[in-house]
A = this chain, B = another copy of it.
Amino acid sequence: MTDSPTKPRRYRGASGDQRRAERCQQLLDAGLSVIGDVGYQACSVRSICAAAGLTERYFYESFANKEALLAEIYQAQTDYLKANMLAAFTRAERNSEAFAHAGLHAFFDTLHQNPAVARLLLFEILGVSDTMDRLYYEVMEDFAVLIRSLASSLGLADIAHTPNQDIIYAGLVGAVIQIARRWALTGYQDSVDAVIGSSLFLFVATANYASPATQ
């Protein structure tokens, strides 16, 4: 008896690992599409498999259950969102206003271009389970770090003097998220500039109040 219980074989020009990864990606894409369309709890594993053009067996090959799929999609999409924002930062002029504007534009534009992503990130993630709630918290703290760098670009070098910076940054993240939620719930009627401008307003106000030297 050798240690090779299964001999991987090439299929359709791809190795076993490649095919598995491809199927996994198809499921992630289909999951995002279906969840973004009908919501997380209203969709079934079967419907996601059908959308992916795969059968249930391949679902459980890659994910333990529906929640595991949701977690991976959430991670992937928040990473994507962060990447877009970071890219926007590097592309922007090195001027406070433009810098902050670029980051917020990347944020709102990504959600606007991908309503499924918006629905998943803004609505479907809460109240699923304690595990997912914690993941939400971690992601929010992550964004707080991003916001912090954004805020520092506005001359808000440090609210360091004020106590409980973490809470204040969490609040700013919450403000932007809520503005995005409201935007989505009203069918994206407001212009992108309006939501960016209002977010920026809150940032600048906080920055100015924290260190009015820039005024």
Q: Spell out A's residues near B (CB within 8 Å).
A: 39-42, 123-130, 133-134, 136-137, 140, 162-164, 167-168, 170-179, 181-182, 185-186, 190, 194-195, 197-199, 201-202, 204-206, 208-210
Contacts and interface: CB of A to CB of B under 8 A. Distances in A.
Contact of A176 (B171, B195, B201): B171
A140 B182 contact: yes
Nearest to A185: B137
Contacts of A167: 179, 182, 190, 194-195, 198
A195 B40 CA distance: 32
Nearest to A165: B198
Contact of A170 (B39, B163, B178): B178
A162 B194 CA distance: 11
B185 A171 contact: no
A186 B124 CA distance: 21
A150 to B, nearest CB: 15
A185 B174 CA distance: 14
Contact of A133 (B123, B173, B201): B123
Given A129-B39, A133-B185, A171 B199 contact: yes
Contact of A201 (B162, B174, B201): B162
Contacts of A41: 41, 127-128
